């Protein structure tokens, strides 16, 4: 129903999407540097980006 809280999965996905988007914006789209800032590796960040529907370029 309208106004009902999102599921935990939806909320976590939205938060993760926001963190990744901010890291990419801060690094000018440099995925390797964004991955370092997020303390993960580049392949994992690409997987997460695909899962979350974020644009994946340069892979």
Whether 23 contacts 29, CB under 8 Å: no
Whether 52 contacts 20, CB under 8 Å: yes
Residue 19 lies in a domain: yes
Residue 18 lies in a domain: yes
Domains of the chain: total:
1
Residue 58 lies in a domain: no
pLDDT tens, N- to C-terminus, the chain (59 residues):
555 667 999 999 999 999 999 999 999 999 999 999 999 999 999 999 999 999 877 65
Residue 3 lies in a domain: no
Query: What does pTM read for this prediction?
Result: 0.83
Rounded CA gap, 4 and 45, in Å? 30
The CATH number of residue 23's host domain is 1.10.10
Residue 21 lies in a domain: yes
Write out the residue range of the structural domain in which residue 23 sits: 8-52
């Amino acid at each position: 129903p309208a106004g009902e809280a999102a599921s935990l999965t939806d909320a976590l996905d939205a938060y993760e999407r926001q963190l990744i988007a901010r890291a990419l914006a801060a690094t000018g789209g440099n995925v390797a540097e964004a991955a370092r800032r997020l303390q993960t590796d580049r392949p994992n960040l690409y997987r997460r980006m695909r899962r979350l529907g974020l644009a994946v370029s340069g892979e």
